[in-house]
Amino acid sequence: MRAAIFNGPGQPQSVDQVDIDRPRGREVLVKSVACGVCHSDLHFADGVWPMMPPAILGHETAGIVEEVGGDVTEFKPGDHVIACLALFCGSCEKCLSGNPHLCFNTGATNRKAGEPPRMTYRGKPIQGILSLAGFAEKQLLHENAVVKIPEDIPLDRAALVGCGVTTGVGAALNTARVLPGSTVAIFGCGGIGLAAVQGARIAGALQIIAVDMFESKLAMARRLGATDTVDASANDPVQAIMNLTGRGVDYSFECIGLKKVAEQAIASLKPGGTATVIGMIPITEKVEMDAMSLLSERKLQGCFMGSSRFRLDAPRFLQYYRQGRLNLDDMVTRKGTLGDIDEAFRAMKAGEVVRTVIMFD
């Protein structure tokens, strides 16, 4: 099969042949149909987060089950599925307490030592990103990495629910539990930020303030539910949020991955408010919070995959899509093929797209 190979930070991806094994045990072989190019892929491609080359990126992926291992009972060939990087063992304390995204034992879903690798490239094992390999024509996955979805949902839209949409909508609904009538500020209107805007709208927030440097993204945020927008290239966003709200917001979301923006998200809270950091801040950095913020019960929390139980949440979010409450159509701004990934990264950095979705034949 063909796959886009990550050759190291800052280097172009090359499309090349990769060998893939057949499913064993609880594995499913999925034919990739669509894969969104997510900002986290860019973090790995740029070397902000470490990833040993060669490897295969792509983790916002939807496809069709082609073959299943002998112990698989929940899936059959022909099933439409979304894959999710938050795969789970199903039996650890976190899984059993309803937090499978924090699973202690995801290693249990890997192949055992002595078994052949799932994929090989030029005769050597090759890894996909976070157990997935969305930029490959096929993926061999543990069944706990996939969820079955209805066949009437277009797979290019469904793919977004594999990461960005679940992360942003889940951050509002699950992690922060935004209350009806509350005020919200969203810093960064890329795919995850726009999904958080939609999550806040679905939750019934009264005021949703979107912050970004690009007017095109702010226009999209207004289209998707923002009641106010702040152009951070021309204004101090914290001051602008104070001007719009009087005392700050109940909930803020950092959706870029910058220490400075995380601290702005804290500074824009009213007393008792909660800042949720969704963006991937470089791992060597620390986020600071002053003592007055703590005394006034402002809270800072992390977020992984929108605290989602993706087997439950992904079908729910797709039902929101069916009902017209979650807009996925406007979030797919461009489509491409395997050779277009570097261009997709460039367009993402330039603020030209919400999502490029890579399509397979």
Q: What are the residues binding Zn ion (CB under 5 A)?
A: 38, 40, 88-89, 92, 95, 103, 105, 163
C-beta of 139: minimal distance to Zn ion in Å?
A: 15
**Nearest approach, Cβ of residue 291 and Zn ion (Å):** 34
Q: Are 134 and 58 in contact, with CB atoms under 8 Å apart?
A: yes
Q: What is the DSSP letter of 12?
A: P
Q: Which residues contact 332 (CB under 8 A, 6 or more apart)?
A: 36, 156, 157, 160, 354, 355, 357
Closest distance to Zn ion from the beta carbon of 43 (Å) = 9
What 8-state DSSP symbol labels residue 77? T
Enumerate the H helices of the chain as residue ranges.
Answer: 39-45, 93-96, 155-160, 164-170, 191-203, 215-224, 237-245, 259-267, 291-295, 310-322, 341-349
Q: Which is nearer to Zn ion, 36 or 225 (CB)?
A: 36
Q: Kindly state the DSSP code that residue 174 receives in the 8-state scheme.
A: I
Euclidean distance between CA atoms 191 and 276, whole angstroms: 16
Would you say 40 or 327 has its CB closer to Zn ion? 40
- Measured from the CB atom, is 91 or 243 closer to Zn ion? 91
CB of 38: closest distance to Zn ion in angstroms? Answer: 3
Residue 25 CB neighbour total at 10 angstroms: 14
Minimum CB distance to Zn ion, residue 249 (Å): 25
Residue 86 or 209 with smaller CB distance to Zn ion? 86
Nearer to Zn ion, 13 or 40 (CB): 40
Compare residues 1 and 92 and give the one whose CB is closer to Zn ion. Answer: 92
Q: Which residues pair with 68 in a beta bridge?
A: 28
Q: Specify the residue for token string 């935004």.
A: 178
Q: How far is the CB of 312 from Zn ion (least distance, A)?
A: 15
Q: Residue 83 or 269: which CB sits closer to Zn ion?
A: 83
Of the pair 62, 89, the CB lying nearest Zn ion is at 89
Cβ contact 40:85 at 8 Å: no
Q: How far is the CB of 241 from Zn ion (least distance, A)?
A: 26
What residues have CB less than 8 Å from 46, skipping those under 6 apart?
9, 10
Is 167 in contact with 51 (CB distance < 8 Å)? no
Output Rg (C-alpha) for the chain, integer angstroms: 20
Do residues 28 and 83 make contact, with C-beta atoms less than 8 angstroms apart? no
Q: How far is the CB of 78 from Zn ion (least distance, A)?
A: 27
Q: Minimal distance in Å, beta carbon 49 to Zn ion?
A: 11
Is 31:25 a contact under the CB 8 Å cutoff? no
**CB closer to Zn ion out of 134 and 237:** 134
